[in-house]
Structure 1
Amino acid sequence: MSISTTRGSQKARDTLEFLRGKISSNEWRVGELIPKEPELMQLIGVGKSTVREAVRSLAAFGMLETVPGVGTFVRARTPVSSILTEFLADHDLEEVLVYRRSLENEAAQHAAVHRTEEQLAGLRAAHERSLAAGGQAFDTCERSTAPGSFHLLVVEASGSKLLKDLYLGVMSILERASVEGRVILGTTTETMHRDHGAVLEAIAARDVRNAAHSMALHVDRDLGLRTDMLEFNPQTERATSLIDAGFDTDA
């Protein structure tokens, strides 16, 4: 999706692309304040009206939000994430969780094919950090989208920018639901470490089948609806079907 405006001056278009580049590259992270208007004018070399036009354009796509008296915050890394977040907000949380499972399974499969040695090293480092952190290692919704987190690294190793944008959009909904207490972590530290290890080794071996199965088992017991919102068994139907199919969960 292109958000470059066809109206206005070349300076306005260049300013918009400059701001978008800072956001999409994660130099300006989601939730952070961007530089104040005078700083942007000096940094880019344009006037106040040009900066304001670019900020308004990005705000219209949900990437920025201006809070009077405070400043302008980054709200989404891409317009795709923002639009998807608004779309998914109208859907049942259980359906959003199912969609998240599908995205993560696809990411694991593609990562097994497309990952680089550098990306594999990053995944190993993230897993080792998690092991060293012990009981503090839970990948909450917020942590799952933080730079260097295991789940985000798997998605990035898939090589698909679109998949990453979709993942960030879905996780923003689940993060909000987690803060509200509607989505909870349904796994133990030991199980999470084992699941991540299985996903990691499958990706390392370029084993597409086991990468998908390992991730499917993990996400089935990772995040779930609060128990008083939905009756569900400790082991989901999908996890049971994979186990019955002969997958070794201790691998």
Structure 2
Amino acid sequence: MTNSPVRLEAVRKTYGRGDSAVTALDGVTFGFPAGSFTAVMGPSGSGKSTLLHCAAGLDQPDSGTVTLAGTPLTGLGETELTVLRRDRVAFVFQSFNLMPALTVWENVTLPTILAGRAPDDAWVARVLDRVGLTDRTKHRPGELSGGQQQRVAVARALAVRPAVTFADEPTGALDTQTALEVLALLRELAEAGQTVVMVTHDPVAASHADSALFLVDGRIVSEVDRPRADAVAAELAGLTGRAR
């Protein structure tokens, strides 16, 4: 697949040894196109999170190759990987990963500052307005609701204008309305040209993506374009019976 900022080629990853070995990814090949929003789904233990971690350079596959933001990860040292992730990649996790001692503004601008660049204050202000936090810029995470903290995490992803955003169950701890707002923001990231890869178990969350990719036992078994929540739920129900 051409123009795929995230591409896995024959990626295998096994945890443990001998009789206790578990194959988390079993020869996965897939490219995530630029400007796409893909939901990665499957039964528990299907390899969803391992796929995300290998694609993001957070975990190293046993074999196969991963290309992230146009850069092959094979042979890169931890410092090179850190620089690549810092400059080209953003993460939105269920746990928010905000710095408790910093304000909302400081949390959102921190990745840019760590990359040695001056924040674009006008862009940061626009991003914070887009996520509805203009009146919370001087608040610290402990003074925000869970939904507001997740919006800060999404704003941080928007602010650095990365090539790729990885989201791992980003709506899992949110109420329905806030979850819909966060999904709309992820949709905006893709429409702005970023590649968004989201691991989720929620059919409603998946319905906001361009496509849903389904894994069973570390293998891609199907892909659904323009997924509807009911179709995703039916697909998951069928796959759960196939998982080991």
Q: TM-score range by the shorter chain?
A: under 0.3
Q: Which has the larger radius of gyration?
A: 1
Q: Which has the higher contact order (CA 8 A, sep 6+)?
A: 2
Higher strand share goes to which structure?
2
TM-score, structure 2 length as denominator? 0.26
Higher helix share goes to which structure?
1
TM-score, structure 1 length as denominator? 0.26
